[in-house]
Amino acid sequence: MIKVTLKDGSVKEFENPISYADIAKSISPRLLDKATCARVDGEICDLREIADKDVHLEILTFDDKDGKKAFWHTASHVMAQAILKFIPDAKLTIGPAVDNGFYYDIDTEANIDEELIAKLEAEMKAISKAGSKIDRFTLPKEEALARFPENEYKQELINELPEGEEISFYEQEGFVDLCAGPHLMSVAPIGAYKIMSVAGAYWRGNSENKMLKRVYGTAFPKQKQLDEYLNMLEEAKKRDHRKLGKELRLFELKEEGPGFPFFLPNGMIVYNELMDYWRELHKRDGYVEISTPIILNRQLWERSGHWDHYKDNMYFTKIDDVDYAVKPMNCPGGLLYYNMEPHSYRELPMRVGEIGLVHRHELSGALNGLMRVRCFHQDDAHIFMTQDQIRDEIKGVVRLFNEVYSKFGLTYHAELSTRPEDSMGSDEDWEIATEGLRSALEDIGLDYIVNEGDGAFYGPKIDFHLNDAIGRTWQCGTIQLDMQLPERFDCEYVGADGEKHRPVMIHRVAYGSIERFIGILIEHFAGAFPTWLAPVQAVVIPVSEAHKDYAYEVLKQLNAAGIRAKVDDRNEKMGYRIRENQLQKVPYMLVVGDKEIADGAVAVRARKENLVGPMPTGEFVDYVVAEIKERRL
């Protein structure tokens, strides 16, 4: 008897070995229609594979991250089949799934222009409409090589596989491709395709190899989903933080420092407002704030494990002939702080915050505005505690994160990431740490998904993925539970029994990278920050030269109340000045002319139209001061 434990904990029993596809069908024929692949004992598997022993099984669909990959991987084969119809002599190389779609690298001299792209898309739709079943088969290496007698790329890939290994292929409508899978059961579920772009790419990313054509595409079960995705991309272009950051004079990236952003005065206002909010919340919740050095010696990083597990992402220097590293993380400095004096159980939990500047080596091709940089500030905190305080501290951090994200109108989902292959520590420590995170999430009632093997090298973690205004997801906050570094740094506290004990440590960030969080907020708000974050909160626009003195009197009232404001008295038409300030996303424009002078008022033009028309100046000031103080959206 084979026992199959499903995601909800229920168990199904089968007398004989059975495919995961048939298990899905036994649960619901509708589930099989939607299924793309399976997760078996934490590993992604093809639905065609057989359960011949007790397993834990999750049937994945397009709604799951790994389910999408199987869907898009299948779509890349459909695109390759269509390419060969129109370019029969093209040499196929690889066609993996990537974020938001797939690509296929091909060796061809043919011009893949808009006319050919339209033909390819039509052929891909026709292939799916025909609904061909996809078959998987394996061959020994010699027969596999014989399948591609004139394709040196496939031959290279096959020759690299271990001797004696059966090599897998997938086939649809007579189109056969070398592939490890997994793939859909048929091409029918792929309802809509779009070829996004064509670019050049060296074979295997090596500039000494031949330049290939990389055809990028995406696909969805339904045309409506594709249309929504394409509309989101158009909206994302308008919200691009790199474009808005320059227009709103928030930050710039210069060729003298790729990946090292320059924050301009407007950007520093946003940064400092975020920091003020962060410090206010953390002071309330009992955190103390420290600052640790940016450069520390090799011995420290060897002790922390970063030298062995994170070296490729670090920058190094020598001081007095001794190796030093620029910190990629703040935690070792936080541990040194903890060890500066002895501690009692009465002091725990000890909550220690740090806005630390860290540097990480990123490949130039991975850099992306503020989203992926080489230096950034982390709103770090390290909590030192006893094992029986784990649940309460995790719950407290989750509540804090929820408060922060709600302040910006951001919803989120959580992922529990478990032990990676490259890790340190005992199985027992990892089990205690993972169960501590899991039980805290369940106590709170927060839904989460498990991301197997994606924890930090020193402990499991909970990642918070934020959903922005146009439906995109960003990973920001994280909570990592660590029993390894306190051991490596010999951290101790004296317990109620008078004996020395080892504390448990939480690493956590709410914003994550503050630079990246600002980039996310720029795009989330399309540059139109809520008033409390806006670099300029109000601009006074005199109708003519005769109204300038009154405009500056209004400005004094605004500034005295702490409102960031300015007067726009440029020698331009009033309509032009209004449009310019609209483009700068200023929350409030206050037009002043004869009537406003006579009434001691301002004519309000609000970005969100919550205030419109004439209003006594004092009344406007009171309203905006309250809006800023409450940090309203």
Q: Which amino acid is at 519?
A: G
Q: How far, in Å, are 298, 334, 439, 504 from residue 383 at the CA level?
A: 25, 10, 18, 8
Residue among 39, 92, 91 nearest 70 (CA): 39
Is 461 one of the annotated active-site residues of the chain?
Answer: yes
* Count of residues making up the chain: 633
Residue 524 annotated to the active site: no
| 360 in active site | yes
Element (H, E) at 273: helix 265-284
Who's near 281: CB < 8 A, 6+ residues apart?
400, 403, 404
**E strand intervals along 375-501:** 375-385, 411-417, 448-451, 461-467, 473-482, 493-494, 500-501
Residue in 175, 176, 178, 177 with CA at minimum distance from that of residue 167: 178
Question: 3-class DSSP state for residue 180?
Answer: coil
> Of these residues, 66, 177, 379, 380, which one is catalytic?
380
Catalytic pick among 331, 375, 476, 491? 331
CB 49 within 8 A of CB 183: no
Cα 432 from Cα 409, distance rounded (Å): 34
Active-site residue (options: 391, 507, 524, 564): 507
In eight-state DSSP terms, residue 210 is P
Q: How far apart are CA 604 and CA 586, in angstroms?
A: 12
Catalytic position from the list 382, 391, 547, 577: 382
d(CA 118, CA 320): 64
Rounded to 5 degrees, φ, ψ at 31 are -65, -40
- Those residues whose C-beta lies under 8 Å from the C-beta of residue 139, and which sit 6 or more positions away, are 147, 166, 167, 169
HSE at residue 573, side-chain half, CA atoms within 13 A, is 3
**What count of other Cβ atoms lies within 10 Å of the Cβ of residue 89?**
10
Distance CA 397, CA 412 (A): 15
Phi and psi at 578, nearest 5°, equal: -65, -45
**Do residues 516 and 376 make contact, with C-beta atoms less than 8 angstroms apart?**
yes
Q: Does residue 162 have a cis bond before it (omega within 30 degrees)? A: no
DSSP state of 587: S
> Is 378 in the active site?
yes
CB 219 within 8 A of CB 75: yes
**Which candidate in 68, 360, 516, 564 is catalytic?**
360
Among this protein's residues, is 380 annotated catalytic?
Answer: yes
Helix intervals (H) in 466-573 = 485-488, 514-524, 548-560
Q: Report the C-alpha gap between 333 and 492 in whole angstroms.
A: 16
Nearest to 633 by CA among 480, 529, 524, 494: 529
Residue 217's DSSP bridge partners are: 102, 195
Q: Looking at 39, 73, 77, 378, which residue is catalytic?
A: 378
DSSP state of 162: P
Tell me which residues are annotated as active site: 331, 360, 378, 380, 382, 461, 507
